[in-house]
Amino acid sequence: MAEGVSVLLLQPPAIKPAGPPLGLAVLLGYLRRQGIEAQALDANVAAYRYLLQPERLVAMAPAKVNTSLRRAIKNLARSWALLTSPAACRSFARYQSAVQHLNTALGVYRGVDGDERLTLGDYRHGGRSEFSPHNLQQLAAGEASTLFSAYFAEELLPAVAARNPRLIALSINYRHQLLPAFELAGMLRRALPGVILVAGGGMLTSWREELEKASDALLPFDHLVFGPGEEALLRLANEEVGEFFLEGSTCLSFEPDFSGLAPDDYLSPEPVLPLTASRGCYWKGCLFCPEAVAPTHPYRSCAPAEVPDLLLALAQQWQVRHFHFTDNALPVPVLKALAARREDLAGLSWYGFVRFEAALAESKLVDQLAAAGCRMLQLGLESGSQSVLDHLGKGTSVTTAAAVLSTLHQTGIATYVYVMFGIPDETEEDRRATLRFLEEHADAIGYLNLAIMNLPHQSELAAGRTPTVETGGEKAPRGLYLTGAAEQQRRSDARRFIQQELLASPAIRTIVNRTPPLFTSDHAFFFDKPKG
């Protein structure tokens, strides 16, 4: 066989296929700059493409097809084409139908036992738990399967073998990736026994303590990297390494390389490239947030002045105009650096998360950000009750939040606001304060995400609560969040409030109804004139 690549970076399914995976692109950029011959392969978007081929769906569909499935299959090619063209944003109704058709079509795949479910952003296996080491082992050993098996065997394995890699690294950041990733790793191990198999990513890093106690649960991998993978992968590419667990990097890279991750391959009205100006969170104070409670890597930021140059270089290299900052919260110095380069950045557009910082209530800065291409900002309000915000450690005030929303609205920067219910000790009055805040500021809120709080079991907020955690039926706690009867009650009270009171408000319902289904903020950015 011809000499192959040194490192192949792989993104396993299943996550939303809205844009290239930044984690892979950052590692690829780093390794290539160090002289390593590396490639990246996004098996997530490729799996969706494979499963959404009309002839495959027709073959998989049951003999008696219901009307919505028949329509979905008939409109499949048209729906995919619409969602990958600017025309997607001309009619919200057509956009919604296209998303619905693709999602309905995916419902054809139920797996061997009929208990699996794949959507455009989610994957569930009714018979196997991603939190069970035993189930993960069954997948890796080929004793169980997922609905991705055929894609792995027919398309992915030959594509990997053709690259003849010395090392394959799987990036596992979300729970929905775990079962497919372990199945894929087992298939790779059997098909390519000499290859070094490495796993890393936020999901596995969050299990660090448990995994270190039970390394046998991680077969078929040869190595596991906790935290950022740059230096560990470089070492593995250059030398024989004995340790199973490898420490993540302290030196972090910010320059992605999207080679092999074509931006126009994704379900997006126009290509959008992800980038980040920081890793971790500069605030780290919110008691409910994994970034504060169980961070998977330390906070680091790019030099602010370098961020506009990075944006311009990526736009030039990949011929893309739209960008998604994936920072947990864009630091204010970075926002100021972008604003200062507004003339250079004119013609580009970008969005990302910010905190409700007082600086964003200043119209001069916000006007400059709009001129620098800022099209939408995502903001975690969480609650309209000041006592809840204080209790959560948000470090923001309801008054500042109102002022920021008003300034952004006046400047024409869309806002995507996140609120939560079911916060421990939240009273009926607190919930109503949130409702009132949303109604009073409805004109300034473009899009809304209504969530029910998941409570990390390590959080101070969980103190005194029954520490029941998802375990996948085994001893070791693998779930990050509390479960159990009390938690279910808290969640169902919150759900009732959202359904019966919050959504009874016409102003709030209007905002919720214009929020793009499934792709949410990934596509909201394109609907730049919020519809009322």
Binding site for ligand SF4 (CB under 6 A): 281, 283-286, 289, 291-292, 328-329, 355, 380
Minimum Å gap between C-beta 291 and ligand SF4 is 4
DSSP string covering 185-203, please? HHHHHHH-TTSEEEEESHH
Distance between CA atoms of residues 475 and 456, nearest Å? 18
Q: Contact, 198 vs 171, CB < 8 A?
A: no
Give me the residues paired with residue 168 across strands. Answer: 8, 197
Look at residues 337, 206, 326, 324 and name the one whose alpha carbon lies nearest to residue 278. Answer: 326
Minimum Å gap between C-beta 487 and ligand SF4 is 20
- Residue 130 or 291: the one with the smaller Cβ distance to ligand SF4 is 291
Identity (one letter) of the amino acid at 356?
F
Residue 383 DSSP one-character state: -
Minimum Å gap between C-beta 286 and ligand SF4 is 3
38-42: strand order across its sheet: 38-42, 7-11, 167-171, 196-200, 223-226, 245-247
Minimum Å gap between C-beta 436 and ligand SF4 is 23
- Residue 318 or 353: the one with the smaller Cβ distance to ligand SF4 is 353
- The number of residues making up the chain comes to 532
DSSP string covering 286-345, please? -TT-HHHHS-SS--EE--TTHHHHHHHHHHHHHT--EEEE--SS--HHHHHHHHHTHHHH
Distance between CA atoms of residues 474 and 453, nearest Å? 25
Distance between CA atoms of residues 156 and 504, nearest Å? 48
Phi-psi region of 449 (alpha: psi -120 to 50; beta: other; left: phi over 0): beta
Distance between CA atoms of residues 219 and 224, nearest Å? 10
